[in-house]
């Protein structure tokens, strides 16, 4: 007895597996795109948001915004990295009941791209001729090449990393004239 259902011809089998692989790849790409944006900070700065260190309205200075979020969900915006570091170094003073150990995420705005980046991986230029809303400032960059270019163009003194920032350095920025 002959079957009326014919199996795939030998020439069709490679195309069948190619189609399955193509759909599987598209499926994975579609869902990984959604996941890749999950770690990016979402920033909605309201007109009423004030820097907890100096009291300035942050929405006026989008190029300088920094952000700290705590494990309990509280978050704060700053009008520059300098005030953000002041908060980190004296957390209890600016947010009673909180400690630096409870900080979950820290972001600064890349000077060239004007997008939030992880402060712990940023490159900061100090001693440049560019002033922020509160005077002399740490200028954040996402990569060393951008920081080096800025340093050369704007008479910067050095490039430092997050772990190199100290309370004494922050105080020295406030004392510069």
Would 149 be classed as within a structural domain? Answer: yes
Tell whether the model's pLDDT for residue 41 goes beyond 80. no
> What is residue 32's predicted lDDT score, i.e. its pLDDT?
45
Instruction: Tell me how far apart the alpha carbons of residues 57 and 114 are, in angstroms, rounded to a whole number.
Output: 18
> What is residue 134's predicted lDDT score, i.e. its pLDDT?
92
> What is residue 44's predicted lDDT score, i.e. its pLDDT?
82
Percent of the chain whose predicted confidence (pLDDT) is above 90: 71
Would 14 be classed as within a structural domain? Answer: no
Would 167 be classed as within a structural domain? Answer: yes
Instruction: Tell me how far apart the alpha carbons of residues 89 and 43 are, in angstroms, rounded to a whole number.
Output: 23
| Owning domain of residue 89 | 58-175
> What is residue 135's predicted lDDT score, i.e. its pLDDT?
94
What domain count does the chain have? 1
> What is residue 155's predicted lDDT score, i.e. its pLDDT?
94
Would 53 be classed as within a structural domain? Answer: no
Report which secondary-structure segment, H or E, holds 41: none
Would 68 be classed as within a structural domain? Answer: yes
> What is residue 12's predicted lDDT score, i.e. its pLDDT?
54
> What is residue 3's predicted lDDT score, i.e. its pLDDT?
55
> What is residue 45's predicted lDDT score, i.e. its pLDDT?
86
Q: Which residues lie below 8 Å from residue 136, measured CB to CB, with a gap of 6+?
A: 82, 127, 173, 174, 176
The residue assigned the tokens 């909605």 is 44
More confident residue, 3 or 81: 81
How much is the pTM? Answer: 0.75
- Pairing of the two strands 66-70 and 75-78: antiparallel
SS (H, E, C) the chain: CCCCCCCCCCCCHHHHHHHHHHHHHHHHHHHHHHHHCCCCCCCCCCCCCECCCCCCEHHHCHHHCEEEEECCCCEEEECCHHHHHHHHHCHHHHCCCCCHHHEEEEEEECCCCCCEEEHHHCEEEECCCCCECCECCCEEECCHHHHHHHHHHCCCCEEEEHHHCCHHHHHHHHHCC
Percent of the chain whose predicted confidence (pLDDT) is above 70: 75
Would 155 be classed as within a structural domain? Answer: yes
Q: How confident is the model at residue 106 (pLDDT cuts 50, 70, 90)?
A: very high
Would 152 be classed as within a structural domain? Answer: yes
Q: Are 109 and 66 in contact (CB under 8 A)?
A: yes
């Amino acid at each position: 007895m002959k079957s009326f259902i014919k199996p795939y011809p030998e020439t069709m089998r490679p195309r069948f597996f190619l189609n399955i692989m193509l759909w599987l790849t598209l499926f994975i790409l579609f869902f990984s795109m959604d996941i890749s944006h999950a770690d990016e900070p979402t920033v909605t700065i309201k007109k009423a948001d004030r820097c907890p260190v100096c009291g300035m309205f942050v929405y006026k200075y989008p190029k300088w915004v920094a952000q700290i979020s705590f494990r309990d969900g509280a978050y704060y915006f700053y009008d520059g990295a300098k005030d953000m570091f002041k908060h980190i170094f004296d957390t209890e003073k600016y947010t009673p009941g909180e400690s630096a150990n409870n900080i979950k995420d820290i972001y600064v705005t890349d000077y060239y791209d004007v997008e939030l980046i992880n402060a712990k991986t940023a490159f900061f230029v100090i001693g440049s001729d560019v002033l922020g809303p509160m005077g002399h400032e740490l200028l954040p960059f996402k990569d060393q090449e951008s920081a080096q270019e800025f340093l050369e163009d704007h008479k910067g003194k050095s490039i430092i990393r997050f772990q190199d920032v100290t309370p004494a350095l922050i105080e020295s920025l406030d004392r510069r004239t």
